[in-house]
């Protein structure tokens, strides 16, 4: 606990948007180029009303998102790469991860 008057410790994290960049095969799951979801406030996943996001595409990108939320060293490959492929070989769907904002979150509020 911080003494009265002191600022609590904070962690700076990026909010992210993951969007469908291209589909070179057939879209079995119904995603279209431009479909997206956003990850904000560390752990809040938002999909636009009336849209969906394929769980198989989602599972391909989820393990990489915590690293993309944080500041990375200049030479880190995660700082340079932002394209992720869906594991379905018939779709050949490519997603792009973009940083859309940065926020300071009290460290004690993070899991």
Backbone angles phi, psi at 10, to 5 degrees: -125, 155
Note the pLDDT of residue 27. Answer: 84
Note the pLDDT of residue 5. Answer: 44
Note the pLDDT of residue 23. Answer: 95
Which own/partner contact pairs does 17-20 have at CB distance under 8 Å and 24+ positions apart? 17/97, 17/98, 17/100, 18/61, 18/65, 18/84, 18/95, 18/96, 18/97, 18/98, 19/95, 19/96, 19/98, 20/57, 20/93, 20/94, 20/95
In the chain, what are the helix, strand and coil shares in percent, each to the nearest 5? 20, 35, 45
In the predicted structure, residue 73 carries a pLDDT above the cut 50: yes
In the predicted structure, residue 74 carries a pLDDT above the cut 90: no
Q: Determine the average pLDDT of the residues in 23-38.
A: 93
Residue 46, SS3?
Answer: strand
What would the pLDDT profile of 76-102 be if each residue is shown by its tens digit?
Answer: 888 888 999 999 988 999 999 999 999
Domain ranges of the chain: 15-109
What would the pLDDT profile of 45-66 be if each residue is shown by its tens digit?
Answer: 999 999 999 999 999 999 999 9
């Amino acid at each position: 606990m911080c003494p009265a008057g002191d600022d609590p410790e904070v962690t700076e994290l990026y909010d992210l948007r993951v969007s469908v960049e291209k589909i070179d095969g057939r879209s079995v799951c119904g995603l279209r180029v431009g479909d997206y979801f956003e990850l904000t406030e560390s752990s809040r996943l938002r999909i636009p009303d009336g849209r969906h996001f394929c769980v198989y595409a989602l599972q391909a990108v989820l393990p990489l998102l915590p690293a993309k939320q944080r500041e990375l060293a200049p030479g880190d490959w995660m700082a340079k790469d932002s394209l992720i492929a869906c594991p379905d070989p018939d779709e050949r769907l490519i997603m792009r991860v973009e940083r859309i904002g940065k926020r300071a979150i009290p460290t004690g509020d993070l899991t």
